[in-house]
A and B are shown apart, each in its own frame.
Chain A
């Protein structure tokens, strides 16, 4: 199985140098369409998506993440750096524990 990347032009291009297949997307509908398509392909193990795009489809990503089976979802920073407010995993954990670790 392999990676698949959804991002902006430069990020997709950069990762293509390492042999990672990717697609450029912008709008919510485009992203959702790609996600649904890639979910069906059995040779994709991990779908990477830049944080900037991920914020537009948060609920859908979350539902994909919680299903067992199907590709894993990973949000990555693009060249403009990591979005501070995005820390889904950590925020969830802290909320679940009810305290700061």
Chain B
């Protein structure tokens, strides 16, 4: 209740606080709008994220299992000797977009040579081909997941901040200013009444003397 600011009861202070209140109210409106947009974006993206995550987990699971098989068949040493380093012609393009001031990425994954085996058929096995294929296929899904996850994390963080600020305005500052205005107005009114009373009394005394 006694949530008001400690200011002296002057007209200029009253005016000032009224301005602050107006400002806070406008600020709150804007933050609410921002919050609504962010909530909509976040909810929309959450579903896509879950789907993408599931796809990634599935394909990586398969890839890891296949990799285990391959290492059993060929032996770890042989597997370590085989890499597609020379063949990494993938292109990840990351660009930005902005939602309510939050910069989130757009990832574009493309790969020139999907099949690029530089190891020979000799001394390797179909299991290896399968493993290579699985890991290669996972990359596009991983790129998509990265885009969604980073976007969602940034948006959710901003949403939380916005919510907190909106709440601070709505539950702290606006009531505080309102209380202060009430107090100032009452005090000023009382002062005015006092002055009037003093004036009347002075008049009466003056009359009596005449």
CB distance from A89 to the nearest CB of B (A): 5
B56-89 Cβ-contact flags toward A at 8 Å (1 or 0): 1100110111011001000010011011110111
CB distance from B56 to the nearest CB of A (A): 7
Chain B at the A interface: SS class: helix
Asked if A79 is an interface residue, CB under 8 A from chain B, the answer is yes
The stretch of A33-41, A52-60, A67-75 in contact with B is A67-75
Question: Considering the complex, which residues of chain B in the window 40-56 have a beta carbon less than 8 Å from any beta carbon of chain A?
Answer: 42-43, 46, 49-50, 56
B contact residues, range: 35 or more
Q: Which residues on A sit within 8 Å (CB–CB) of B90?
A: 2-3, 19
CB distance from A52 to the nearest CB of B (A): 13
Q: Is the CB of B83 within 8 A of A96?
A: no
Chain A at the B interface: SS class: mixed
Set B67, B88, B153, B160: member contacting A65, Cβ < 8 A: B153
Q: Which residues on A sit within 8 Å (CB–CB) of B146?
A: 46, 48, 72-74
Knowing A45-B94, A45-B107, A68-B96 touch, does A14 contact B153 (C-beta < 8 A)? no
The stretch of B4-12, B13-21, B131-139, B197-205 in contact with A is B131-139
Set B42, B82, B156, B159: member contacting A17, Cβ < 8 A: B82
Q: Is the CB of A13 within 8 A of B79?
A: yes
With most chain B CB atoms within 10 A of its CB, the pick from A1, A11, A19, A76 is A19
Question: Considering the complex, which residues of chain A in the window 1-57 have a beta carbon less than 8 Å from any beta carbon of chain B?
Answer: 1-3, 10-11, 13-21, 45-46, 48
Knowing A10-B67, A96-B42 touch, does A17 contact B150 (C-beta < 8 A)? no
A contact residues, range: 35 or more
Task: Identify 16 new A-B residue pairs, CB closer than 8 A, beyond the known A16-B85, A17-B132.
Answer: A2-B88, A10-B67, A11-B64, A13-B67, A13-B80, A46-B94, A65-B154, A72-B105, A76-B142, A82-B57, A92-B156, A95-B156, A96-B156, A96-B157, A96-B160, A101-B46
Q: Which residues of A contact B (CB under 8 A)?
A: 1-3, 10-11, 13-21, 45-46, 48, 65-66, 68, 72-74, 76-79, 81-82, 88-90, 92-93, 95-97, 101
Q: Which residues of B contact A (CB under 8 A)?
A: 39, 42-43, 46, 49-50, 56-57, 60-61, 63-65, 67-68, 71, 76, 79-80, 82-85, 87-94, 96, 103, 105, 107, 116, 128, 131-132, 135-136, 138-139, 142-143, 145-147, 149-150, 152-154, 156-157, 159-160, 163
Q: Could you list 27 A-B pairs, sorted by A, with CB under 8 Å?
A: A2-B92, A3-B92, A3-B139, A17-B84, A17-B128, A18-B132, A19-B83, A19-B85, A19-B88, A45-B107, A46-B142, A46-B143, A66-B153, A66-B154, A72-B94, A72-B105, A72-B150, A73-B146, A74-B142, A74-B150, A79-B67, A90-B49, A92-B156, A95-B156, A95-B160, A96-B160, A97-B42
